[in-house]
């Protein structure tokens, strides 16, 4: 391919990826009076939309906290469980290994709604509606397979000699895992944590189904249901500002850890 053509292609891709996002940022920085302006730069810029987003009536700050709790707890739980399983699948030789990994991956393909219909009934009986656990438990169904899969790949990439040396030096397999493998797997664990956190933070269908109390809603749900000053008028400016706030942690993660994220994302797909 010619060089200028490739450069043009690169610019096209960047524009494609960033233009809509840029529009969200620009729209959030306009004065509410200029909301329908289609100028490319907000003039003058204003933080009114952000102030409106955090208006106590919206409950947005609380919703951010809820999102953080759900995503944080789910990620921690999933990591604790998946580290053990990933290690076992990657390093131990036992019967039925292929079946176990196949099952774990298969569960990640199940549609969320298929699990949610029966779970909602169960949660109603348990009085779990409007609780964190009602959002966390179903989130495990997609975050756990993702984590197991990623960690299995990472554990596999480590040389076997490490454990063998540890065992020769008198470690039990358990000690070899804790003292030799785990510290070296830290980058993989970290990447998995980022991916699991992003996946849970972005979750919508569970959160919108098992919670109906305003103060328990997650950020995604509450932003999507913001109502304007006059009910039928969708407050796009406020929603764009809130959208920027919800997206900022993710954009920061992407900026700092893009290499790791890409490695994690491609780990399973590329053989």
Partner 1 sequence: MSTETRARPPAAHRRPGRLGRAEPKASDRRRAGVGRLAAVLLSPTLITLGLVVGYPVVEALRLSLTVTDQHINQETGLIERTGQLGFDNYTGLFRGESGARFLNALWNTTSFALATGTLVTVLGVLMALVMHRAFRGRGLFRAAVLIPWAIPTAISALLWRWIFSTDGIANDILNTQILWTTEGFQAWLSVVIADTWKTAPFIGLLVLAGLQVIPAEVYEAAKVDGSSPWHTFWKITLPLVKPALVVAVLFRLLDLLRMFDLPFVLVGRGKRSVETLSMLAWDDMQNLRFGPAAAYAVVLFAYTAVVAYLFIRVLGADVVGRGMEGKR
Task: Check residue 91 for interaction with partner 1 (CB under 8 A).
Answer: yes
CB of 202 to partner 1, least distance (A): 4
Q: Report which secondary-structure segment, H or E, holds 138.
A: helix 132-156
Shortest spacing between CB 140 and partner 1, in angstroms? 5
Closest approach of partner 1 to the CB of residue 31, in Å: 16
Closest CA to 264 of 26, 2, 82: 82
Torsion, CA 108, CA 111, CA 117, CA 122, rounded to 10: 0
Under rule CB under 8 A, which residues in 231-260 are in contact with partner 1?
234, 236, 239-240, 243, 246-247, 250-251, 253-255, 258-259
Is 43 an interacting residue with respect to partner 1 (CB under 8 A)? Answer: no
Rank residues 44 and 111 by Cβ distance to partner 1 and give the closer one: 111
Cis peptide before 44 (omega within 30 of 0): yes
**Cα 249 to Cα 145: distance, rounded to the nearest angstrom:** 23
- Rounded Cα distance, 270 and 136, in Å: 30
Q: Which is nearer to partner 1, 46 or 173 (CB)?
A: 173
Shortest Å distance, C-beta 130 to partner 1? 15
Cα→Cα distances 205→118, 120, 218, Å: 14, 12, 11
CB of 17 to partner 1, least distance (A): 5
Q: Pick the binder of partner 1 from 43, 51, 205, 215 (CB under 8 A).
A: 205
Residues 46-75: x where in contact with partner 1 by CB under 8 A, - otherwise, as a string = ------------------------------
Site string for partner 1, 169-188 (x = CB under 8 A): ----xx-x------------
Token couple for 179? 């003292």
Candidate segments 53-61, 125-133, 152-160, 184-192, binder of partner 1 by CB under 8 A: 152-160
Q: Please report, as residue ranges, which positions from 102 to 141 form the binding site for partner 1 (by CB under 8 A).
A: 102-107, 109-122, 137-138, 140-141
**Cβ-contact 94, 166 below 8 angstroms:** no
Determine contact, residues 205/111, Cβ cutoff 8 Å.
no
Number of residues forming the site for partner 1 (CB under 8 A): 109
* Segment interacting with partner 1, rule: CB under 8 A, options 41-49, 126-134, 183-191, 262-270: 262-270
Whether 207 contacts 135, CB under 8 Å: yes
Which residue in 195, 202, 160, 171 sits closest to 82, CA to CA? 195
Q: Does 33 bind partner 1 (CB under 8 A)?
A: no
Q: Name the 3-class secondary structure at 22.
A: helix
Query: Of these, 92, 126, 184, 186, which contacts partner 1 (CB under 8 A)?
Result: 92
């Amino acid at each position: 391919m010619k060089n200028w053509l490739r450069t043009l292609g690169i610019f096209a891709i960047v524009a494609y990826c960033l233009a809509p996002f840029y529009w969200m940022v620009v729209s959030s920085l306009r004065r509410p009076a200029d909301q329908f302006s289609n100028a490319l730069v907000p003039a003058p810029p204003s933080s009114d939309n952000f102030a409106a987003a955090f208006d106590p009536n919206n409950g947005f700050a609380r919703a951010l906290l809820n999102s953080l709790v759900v995503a944080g707890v789910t990620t921690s739980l999933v990591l604790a469980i998946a580290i053990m399983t990933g290690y076992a699948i990657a390093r131990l030789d036992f019967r039925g290994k292929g079946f176990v990994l196949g099952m774990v991956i298969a569960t990640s393909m199940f549609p969320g709604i298929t699990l949610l219909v029966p779970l909602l009934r169960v949660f109603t009986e348990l009085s779990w509606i409007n609780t964190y656990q009602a959002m966390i438990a179903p989130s495990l169904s997609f975050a756990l397979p993702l984590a197991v899969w990623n960690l299995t790949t990472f554990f596999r990439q480590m040389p076997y000699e490490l454990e063998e040396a540890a065992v020769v030096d008198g470690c039990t397999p358990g000690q070899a895992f804790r003292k030799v493998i785990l510290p070296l797997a830290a980058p993989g664990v970290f990447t998995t944590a980022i991916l699991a956190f992003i996946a849970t933070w972005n979750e919508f269908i569970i959160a919108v189904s098992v919670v109906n109390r305003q103060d328990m809603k997650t950020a995604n749900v509450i932003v999507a249901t913001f109502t304007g000053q006059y009910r039928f008028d969708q407050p796009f400016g406020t929603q764009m500002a809130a959208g920027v706030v919800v997206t900022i942690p993710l954009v920061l993660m992407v900026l700092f850890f893009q290499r790791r994220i890409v490695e994690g994302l491609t780990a399973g797909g590329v053989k």
